[in-house]
């Protein structure tokens, strides 16, 4: 295998990044672009050997990094952000080639957010404190101590942004990191390794091992030296990771699947509600937070469906490198098969495709809206992770809440209503980590993020990230007992 490949004019190293050096493997796996099915290159395929080496490098680097001052850690994270900003165009085109998401979104939103992730947690670190408090004359002082090497396992739908959402707070906290990027989208993680090296991040503080989770996952998550594991992905994989981590009582943060509802009440701004619903096709439906279950109050259901169909007809699906494109391909033939399987089984069970319901050429799936679906049906209960929405109706507020909460998930929910009091009543009853009212996908890194039920364990963001990546220590000091050394 060659050590480097060229992707849209950008040189990308195909090897792992371990202990500040590039490390090859005996085997490789093939990285394929979902845009046209072309082979991008052969990527180093990690084994338990490379995984163990990466964890060992993180362990070795941890004492010095943990002892590094907050100010210096923050400075280095800002230097990484500077490097990201200098290479936004390169990162954008490489990630679009690798995962098929829109180039314009990568340029204008996603890659700038990558830089922001580093800047936010660098700045937050410098303000992290808890006011001392008194207990019967004794002083309590809270510290956030670095916990240790952290294993971060990240998904393919927003590879670099979601990786740095974990990397940045882990490094800011004083932990060292082993990143395992998704095997379908490894390329921008490799570019990030170059950026961190150029920024001066010490060797071993960030390590990247590429490959299949089935081959290297257990070696990463079962090592007793690993003190934190953060994973974004599927529920079955999370269960395997949890079992692996249990032997060492390694704390976990899990952000998992979703089957989120969009509740549209008759008093809502209907055009806004339709816009919110059509927005759920973003990134070809490959968004964990997507409100894929549209629940519409009965009196407006017909008009909502008419306007939705009209709005969705204007979606431009095609090459994500084209500025005019609204949604691109799905990530992999296996995922496309999964999406179509869900849809065809639903139709066979009596669902009606108002729009879509079929594949298109290549790895593209037509934006789909299914009606006449039962609440207990597979298509309503299970995450599809593609451009597939269902529409159900309700007649009362209580029924709407009941339908919204009636899945095993609880990641997010969206409510469209013109009644502020109703919004308060409904959001108070929804089981979700994030609820949007008359908006969607407004996220602030200060806010807690995570899911309820099978949508996850724990919260990250702001102080919650540091609470997870650190060992909190309370020191209680008596007012007396000091000797005079004067």
Catalytic residues: 255, 288
Q: Report how far apart, in Å, the C-alpha atoms of 133 and of each of 97, 130, 218, 474, 477 are.
A: 53, 9, 42, 11, 11
d(CA 14, CA 2): 8
CA angle 376, 382, 388 (to 5 degrees): 105
d(CA 280, CA 387): 8
Residue of 387, 378, 436, 435 lying closest to 408 (CA atoms): 378
Buried/exposed code over 219-245 (b: 16+ C-beta within 10 A; e: otherwise): bbbbbeebbbbbbbbebebbebbbebb
d(CA 11, CA 94): 9
DSSP result, 130-184? ---EEETTEEEEEEEEE---EEEE--SSSHHHHHHHHHHHHHHTT--EEEE--TT
Name residues whose C-beta falls within 8 Å of residue 2's C-beta, 6 or more positions apart in sequence.
14, 41, 42
Sign of the torsion formed by the C-alpha atoms of 117, 123, 128 and 131: negative
Sign of the torsion formed by the C-alpha atoms of 422, 424, 425 and 426: positive
Which 3 state secondary structure label does DSSP give 449?
A: strand
Residue of 278, 319, 382 lying closest to 103 (CA atoms): 319
Spatial contact of 252 and 241, defined as CB atoms under 8 Å apart: yes
Q: How many CB atoms lie within 10 A of CB 87?
A: 20
């Amino acid at each position: 295998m060659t050590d480097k490949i060229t992707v849209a004019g950008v040189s990308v190293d195909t090897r792992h990044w371990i202990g500040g050096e590039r490390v090859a493997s005996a085997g490789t796996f093939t990285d394929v672009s979902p845009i046209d099915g072309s082979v991008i290159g052969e990527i180093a395929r990690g084994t338990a050997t490379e995984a163990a080496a990466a964890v060992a490098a993180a362990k070795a680097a941890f004492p010095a990094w943990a002892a590094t001052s907050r100010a210096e850690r923050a400075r280095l994270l800002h230097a990484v952000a500077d490097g990201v900003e200098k290479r936004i165009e390169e990162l954008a085109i490489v990630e679009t080639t690798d995962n098929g998401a829109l180039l314009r979104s990568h340029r204008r939103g996603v890659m700038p957010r990558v830089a922001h992730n580093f800047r936010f947690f660098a700045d937050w670190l410098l303000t992290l404190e808890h006011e001392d408090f008194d207990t019967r004359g004794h002083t309590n002082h809270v510290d956030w101590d670095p916990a240790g090497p952290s294993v971060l396992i990240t998904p393919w739908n927003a590879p670099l942004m979601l990786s740095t959402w974990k990397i940045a707070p882990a490094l800011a906290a004083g932990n060292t990191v082993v990143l395992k990027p998704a095997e379908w989208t490894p390329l921008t993680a490799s570019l990030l390794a170059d950026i961190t090296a150029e920024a001066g991040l010490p060797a071993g503080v960030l390590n990247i091992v590429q490959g299949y989770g089935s081959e290297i996952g257990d070696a990463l998550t079962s090592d007793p030296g690993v003190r934190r594991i953060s994973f974004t992905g599927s529920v079955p994989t999370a269960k395997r990771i949890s079992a692996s981590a249990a032997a060492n009582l390694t704390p976990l943060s899990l952000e998992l699947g979703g089957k989120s509802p969009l509740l549209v009440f008759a008093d809502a701004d209907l055009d806004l509600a339709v816009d919110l619903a059509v927005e759920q096709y973003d990134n070809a439906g490959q968004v964990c937070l997507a409100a894929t279950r549209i629940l519409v109050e009965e009196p407006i259901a017909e008009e909502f469906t008419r306007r939705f169909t009209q709005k969705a007809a204007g979606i431009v699906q095609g090459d994500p490198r084209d500025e005019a494109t609204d949604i691109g391909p799905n990530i992999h033939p296996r995922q496309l098969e999964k999406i179509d399987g869900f849809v065809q089984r639903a139709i066979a069970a009596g669902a009606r495709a108002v729009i879509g319901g079929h594949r298109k050429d290549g790895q593209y799936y037509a934006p789909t809206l299914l009606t006449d679906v039962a609440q207990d049906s597979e298509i309503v209960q299970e995450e599809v992770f593609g451009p597939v929405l269902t529409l159900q109706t309700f007649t009362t507020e209580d029924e709407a809440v009941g339908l919204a909460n009636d899945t095993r998930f609880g990641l997010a929910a969206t409510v469209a209503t013109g009644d502020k009091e109703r919004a308060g009543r409904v959001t108070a009853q929804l089981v979700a980590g994030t609820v949007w009212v008359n908006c969607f996908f407004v996220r602030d890194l200060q806010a807690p993020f995570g899911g309820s039920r099978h949508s996850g364990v724990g919260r990250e963001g702001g102080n919650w990230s540091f609470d997870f990546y650190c060992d909190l220590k309370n020191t209680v000091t008596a007012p007396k007992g000091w000797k005079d050394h004067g």
